[in-house]
Amino acid sequence: MQKLTIATFFWYVFPIVLLFVSSLIIKKTSLERKHGVKAPDIATPFLLVGIHYLSRATFDESFLPYTLLIVLLVSMLIAVFQAYQFKEIKYKRYLKMVWRVVFLVTLLIYFLLIIASIILYLN
């Protein structure tokens, strides 16, 4: 049976704190105005690290390789979509779209891991 520890609780609140801190960094440094960087752009690598540690704490196995496989498949689908839709792939637009979709995928997987961890804790 899994125990609820301080470390596990830290990983539960990690995405909220991460998005809050990264939005503060963006506002203080005005990166959005200068370079078009938003809070999810900074938070994505940290969410990948969080997926690794939370999945190891919950299931004794890292879900990071599976997450990266999903990200690669989604990026290929985005490339095919852009090639079909625009008849060309502009790398700046492609990379920006992939990075934002990676954030959404990692956030979804992270929240699913939190729910699975709570369910396992309650059982």
Q: CA 46: distance to chain centroid?
A: 7
Closest to 68 (Cα-Cα) out of 82, 79, 52 = 52
From residue 9, alpha-carbon distances to 38, 42, 46, 57 in Å are 26, 22, 16, 11
- Chunked mean pLDDT (size 10), the chain, 123 residues: 74 89 88 84 92 90 94 95 92 93 95 91 83
Joined tokens for residue 38: 């938003």
Q: pTM for this one?
A: 0.85
In this prediction, residue 36 carries a pLDDT of 83
Write out the DSSP string of the chain: -----HHHHHHHHHHHHHHHHHHHHHHHHTHHHHH---HHHHHHHHHHHHHHHHHHHHHSS--HHHHHHHHHHHHHHHHHHHHHHHSS--HHHHHHHHHHHHHHHHHHHHHHHHHHHHHHHH-
In this prediction, residue 10 carries a pLDDT of 86
Neighbour tally for 35: CB within 10 Å: 11
Alpha carbon distance 103, 83 (integer Å): 22
In this prediction, residue 1 carries a pLDDT of 46
